A = this chain, B = another copy of it.
Amino acid sequence: MELSKFLASLIPFKPDELQDIVSHFEKENIPKNTMLIEQGQVSKKLYFIENGMGRSYYLKEDGKEVTQWFFGVGKFMSSVDSFFQQIPSIYYLEILEDSTVYSISNENMDLLFYKYHKMEKLGRLVSIEMLTKVVNKLNAIQFQTARERYEYMLAEFPDISYRVPLGHIASYLGMTQETLSRIRK
């Protein structure tokens, strides 16, 4: 999904506004398995996924990867607190498939927020949407059996569920790979 289409679908920007806003982003092609940011670094960019997909994950003390979120087409991908508060990231951001993304720097983002009231509103709407989704996941994780959690996954990320390694999904859902493998049958 194109960035300008996405923006216009949320807020009625004028054509010249839209053009100005999009011009602050940079379109990039990113090959699979690219790390956009590593744990401990301060995130410099926010990404919008036109095509492809990625995930955020962190490492537990024992070194195991825990997938924290999947980012599909038409979503913003970032290490939220690192990007907006410019603090070291807890998460790795990884591109999982060859992807086309629009990236924007923190400075440019602030500039747009400052310049366009509507952009600030868009930021608020996107944040609240994300908040709602995280709350949904929380409810799934907290009070559902492993089987129901997998069903939540299929509902929330229908397109992604079949494209990533089992282990990524298992850790996303808070269960072991073995358990997920048993459930899928």
> Which A residues have a C-beta under 8 Å from some C-beta of B?
60, 66, 68, 80-81, 84, 113, 117, 120-121, 123-124, 127-128, 130-132, 134-135, 137-139, 141-143, 174
Contacts and interface: CB of A to CB of B under 8 A. Distances in A.
Contacts of A124: 113, 120, 123-124, 127
18 contacts: A66-B142, A80-B132, A80-B135, A81-B128, A81-B132, A84-B128, A113-B121, A117-B120, A123-B124, A124-B124, A127-B127, A130-B131, A131-B131, A134-B138, A137-B138, A141-B142, A141-B174, A143-B174
Contacts of A138: 134, 137-138, 141
Contacts of A142: 66, 141, 174
B121 A131 contact: no
Taking chain A's interface residues, is the majority helix, strand, or loop, or is none over half, making it mixed?
helix
A121 to B, nearest CB: 5
Contacts of A174: 141-143
Given A66-B139, A113-B121, 12 more contacts: A66-B142, A68-B139, A80-B128, A80-B131, A80-B132, A80-B135, A117-B117, A120-B124, A127-B131, A134-B134, A141-B142, A142-B174
A134 B142 CA distance: 12
A56 to B, nearest CB: 10
A66 B144 CA distance: 12
Nearest to A66: B143
A48 B155 CA distance: 34
A84 B135 CA distance: 15
Given A127-B131, A138-B138, A143 B80 contact: no
